Amino acid sequence: MARRVLLVNKFYYPRGGDCIVTLNTEALLRNNGVEAEVFAMKYPENLTARYQTLFASEVSFGGGMGNMLRAMQRTMGIGDVRSCFEEVLEQFHPDVVHLHNIHSYLSPIVGRIAHERGIRVVWTLHDYKLLCPRYDCLLDGKPCERCFKGAKHNVLAHKCMKGSLPASAVAWIEALKWNRRQLENNTDIFLCPSEFMAQKMRTGGFNPAKIKVLNNFLDPVKYEQYQAIGKTSQREDYYCYVGRLSPEKGVTDLLETASRLPYRLVVAGGGPLETELRAKYASCGDIEFLGMLDAAGVVKVLTGAKLCVIPSQWYENNPLSVVESLCAGTPVAGSDIGGIPELIDSENGVVFQPFDQEAMTAAITTSMTRQWNHQEIADRALERFASKPHLQRLMLDIYGF
């Protein structure tokens, strides 16, 4: 009899890294004989799913106090999220409930419901929400760990949520409701994609016996693309940034640095800083903005580049941008922060101190003038991030099948 896994994520379309990992895991399980289904929040852009009529109703934190109150109730597990999830459990009977990004738009109530029914609960952590009410460990643009050991009132004191006291109050109440003891009692395994995140979870007091580390994997379709292209790829005279254009990603420092360098930078991605950055660097002939690209476009950019720069200024977990770049055979110049340095060694890239433009300049210059073995970089990465060993570890060590 086939094993059954219910994947739970707040959205069910390729919106961000958490969604992509959820979709990739669903496909991997299904392609290897596991019955995998999904529970999420109803949303217009969701993909078609077997239990989509039972998804929790949509909530929003914008649009007035009424929406805010409904969203706040959702964080507490109040409303239809409980009944909808229970009905999916009744119909599907999963052996494992695999949580992904569930805070705010769903609720940790789903983990408690599954646990109370004797179902194994695995939770892949995509950010630091269990430690930081704001989720990204940033205060005034710099890493912050004030809330890690239980002092969640700091989110109120510093108005960490968008500078808003009401929004910060919601995050504070949610953190009190779903405290470490609650979360730990309802979860069998906290799955951390990086050792850095695992260490922060231990620092926050979570039971080390429940913490496992398993890197993200490259989905098989892209795996085959990188494997095929890597052998014939011709490197062009540019370096690239592929990702979200937002403050915590360090793109402002990157573009300021790039404007002073004699190399061409290709920027692929969109985000809140896109309009501002396009306007500021419109006259800089060595900076090209491509906007948001589809999967094929990302593959093309990465396999043609001499270097990929990841200038993040927050605690990146196990960024797919680094994983994909290495699988493309493209070395990475990355910030020495979060899980980034775990992926980089002397043969596939270089790390530099975040918030330091001089260090970034040196890293880019050194990397652009070095002769890299692109095929060796790709071969090593494709072996490390292949789906087969990930699946074996997931099934045996994490799910216990």
147 Cβ neighbours under 8 A, 6+ residues apart: 131, 132, 133, 154, 155, 175
Q: What torsion do the CA atoms of 264, 269, 271, 274 make, to the nearest 10 degrees?
A: 30
Which tokens sit at 287? 């900076």
**What are the tokens at 255?**
């573009």
> Residue 339: which of 165, 200, 153 has the closest Cα?
200
Q: How far is CA 384 from CA 184, 235, 351, in A?
A: 30, 23, 20
Domain limits, CATH 3.40.50.2000, in the chain: 4-217+386-399, 220-384
Q: What are phi and psi of 374, to 5 degrees?
A: -65, -40
pLDDT score, position 67: 78
DSSP string computed for 245-311: -SGGGTHHHHHHHHTTSSS-EEEE---TTHHHHHHHTTT-TTEEEEES--HHHHHHHHHH-SEEEE-
Helices (H), 93-179: 109-116, 154-157, 165-177
- Using an 8 Å Cβ cutoff, are 335 and 253 in contact? no
Q: Tell me how far apart the alpha carbons of residues 182 and 109 are, in angstroms, rounded to a whole number.
A: 10
Q: What was the pLDDT predicted at 62? A: 75
Among 19, 13, 386, smallest CA distance to 214 is for 386
Instruction: Write out the H or E segment, with its range, that includes residue 69.
Output: helix 65-75
Here the tokens at position 226 are 């990188």
Give the pLDDT score at 231: 60
276-280 long-range contacts, Cβ below 8 Å, gap at least 24? 277/245, 277/251, 277/252, 280/255
Whether the CB-CB separation of 161 and 133 falls below 8 Å is answered with: yes
pLDDT at 170: 84
CATH for the stretch 220-384 = 3.40.50.2000
Query: So what CATH class is 4-217+386-399?
Result: alpha beta
Q: Long-range contact list for 153-162, CB < 8 A, 24+ apart?
A: 160/133, 160/134, 161/133, 161/134
CA distance 344 to 135: 25
Handedness of CA 168, 170, 173, 177 (dihedral sign): negative
| Count of C-beta atoms within a 10 Å radius of residue 238 | 17
Determine the pLDDT at residue 66: 78
- Residue 394 has what DSSP assignment? I
Parts of the chain with a pLDDT under 70: 1, 230-233
β pairing state of 287-291 and 239-242 = unpaired
Q: What pLDDT is recorded for position 1?
A: 66
